[in-house]
Structures are given as C-alpha cells and as structure tokens.
C-alpha cells in the first residue's frame, strides 16, 4: 500500500514517544517535538516548525471537539486570544517571507525564538501550581476591561512565538490564563487554550506550507505514532508522581532551550 510505504518508522516512533509524554504530562507537543526534529534528526528549523504546526493543528482539532462537547471551552477567552494572535501570526509570516525560505537569517530567528520559548516554558511547567495558588489569592484585583486587553496582548505574543517556534500556546498560554482568569476552572482554561491553538497553528502552519517549509511525509509519520501515543500516555496518568514529572520536564526544557540559543 503506497500510504504505508511512505511512513518512516523513526519519525513514527518519535511521534509515539512525544505523544505518550504529552498524554501523560499535558505539556505541549511542540516543546518536545520541534527540538527533537532539529537536534536529533537535523531537520531544517523552518521545516521542523512548519511541520510541527500542522501536526499540532490536526491533533488539537480533535482535542477541541472533545473539550467542546464537554462544555469546558470559554469562547469569550478564545475570541480575545484570537483577536491578538491571528494578526500577529500574519505579520510574523510576512517577516519570514521577507527573509526567504529557507535562509540563514530566518533559521537564526527561528532557533533563537525556540530557545527563548523553551526557557519560558520550563518555569511555567515547574511553578504552575504555585502561580495558580497566588492567582486565587489575587482574584478580583484586575478589572474586566484590563483582563480583556491583557488577553488580546497575550494572544499577540503567542501568535509571534508560535509562528516562529511552534512553542508557547500550551504551557505558557495556560499559565498566563490562570493568572488572568483565577475564577475560571482549570478545565475551562485548558479547553479554551486548546481551542485557540487550532486557528493559530492552522494559519501559521498553512503559512509555512505556502513558504515551502512543511514536510508532508514526515507529518504523516509523526501523526501515525502520536495518536496511539497520546492514548497510551493518557492511560498512564499518575504513573509517575506529578512533582517528579514537572521537575524532569522543566530541566529538559531548560537544557534544550539553552542549547538552541
């Protein structure tokens, strides 16, 4: 069968491993997949980011359907985030088009952005519970109008970060939303963040595809491994103590982020 022949086992195995970790820990796949493709497989940074963005758009579409049916998506938050992220994504794609694809300058921007995003993600993972407790104590100290403007600003920042690095919409986005919406249940924050990531990663991914930096065969191989990996990881939630998980993930993300810079 032609489709089966196109699947590359090493990419599928990587997708399985990353999917398992995502399912078990909840950390965003881009934080793990993109550095893996660049550092281990020596994939060009633009190709790694572009392919991972479409990979994220497909997988998070499924997650949005699940969360939407459970009624845990706050569409007001999604709209605010999208109001900032979509214009930022389009502007970031214009910057990449200006530098050309592939090019040394664009690769430098992407690897630097990826390193910074990972260094920001590490403390977001490690200190999430402490930040959540702090936000509950400060609930109500920011007006609704200010919260709305800050959410749009967060969306803009995520649009730039995700387009250049494919990282940020998960751990960083959720952490800041916890601070902005302390009264919103965690399930709604996660569901809203995933729902917002779908148009963000889809537009950014299609933009990278238009620039010629998406590897279709690699994308199919990653999906073949990651879908069963996420299912397996979800079944293993709680197998490793959460504090141990967060400590190890934060350490790995910090080391990889420093390596990218």
Residue 28: per-residue pLDDT: 67
Residue 237: per-residue pLDDT: 61
Sequence-separated (6 or more) residues with CB below 8 Å from residue 208: 46, 49, 50, 51, 53, 54, 93, 96, 214
Residue 91: per-residue pLDDT: 96
Per-state percent for the chain, helix, strand, coil, to nearest 5: 80, 0, 20
Note whether 207 and 89 are within 8 A (CB): yes
Note whether 68 and 195 are within 8 A (CB): yes
Residue 77: per-residue pLDDT: 95
Question: Which long-range CB contacts under 8 A does 247-253 form with residues at least 24 apart?
Answer: 247/126, 249/25, 249/27, 249/122, 249/125, 249/126, 250/122, 250/123, 250/125, 250/126, 251/122, 253/31, 253/118, 253/119, 253/121, 253/122, 253/125
Residue linked to tokens 């900032």: 84
| CA 115, chain centre distance (Å) | 14
Residue 3: per-residue pLDDT: 44
Q: List, for the chain, all residue ranges whose pLDDT scores fall below the cut of 50.
A: 1-3
pTM: 0.85
Give the pair of three-digit tokens for residue 107.
């690769």
d(CA 246, CA 240): 10
Residue 249: per-residue pLDDT: 80
């Amino acid at each position: 069968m032609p489709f089966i022949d196109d699947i590359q086992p090493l990419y599928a195995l990587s997708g399985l491993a990353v999917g398992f970790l995502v399912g078990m820990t909840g950390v965003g796949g881009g934080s793990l997949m993109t550095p893996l493709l660049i550092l281990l497989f020596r994939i060009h940074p633009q190709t790694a980011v572009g392919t991972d963005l479409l990979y994220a758009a497909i997988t998070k579409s499924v997650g949005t359907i699940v969360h939407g049916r459970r009624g845990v998506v706050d569409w007001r938050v999604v709209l605010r985030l999208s109001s900032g992220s979509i214009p930022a994504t389009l502007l970031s794609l214009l910057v990449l088009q200006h530098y050309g694809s592939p090019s040394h300058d664009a690769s430098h921007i992407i690897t630097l952005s990826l390193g910074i995003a990972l260094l920001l993600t590490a403390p977001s993972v490690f200190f999430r519970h402490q930040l959540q407790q702090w936000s509950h104590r400060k609930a109500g100290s920011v007006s609704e109008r200010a919260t709305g403007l800050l959410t749009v600003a967060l969306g803009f920042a995520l649009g730039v970060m995700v387009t250049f690095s494919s990282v940020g919409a998960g751990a960083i986005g959720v952490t800041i939303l916890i601070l902005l919406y302390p009264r919103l249940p965690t399930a709604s924050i996660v569901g809203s963040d995933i729902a917002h990531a779908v148009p963000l990663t889809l537009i950014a991914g299609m933009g990278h595809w238009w620039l010629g930096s998406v590897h279709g065969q690699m994308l199919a191989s990653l999906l073949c491994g990651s879908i069963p990996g996420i299912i397996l990881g979800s079944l293993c939630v709680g197998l490793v103590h959460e504090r141990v998980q967060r400590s190890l993930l934060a350490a790995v993300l910090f080391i990889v982020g420093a390596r990218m810079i």
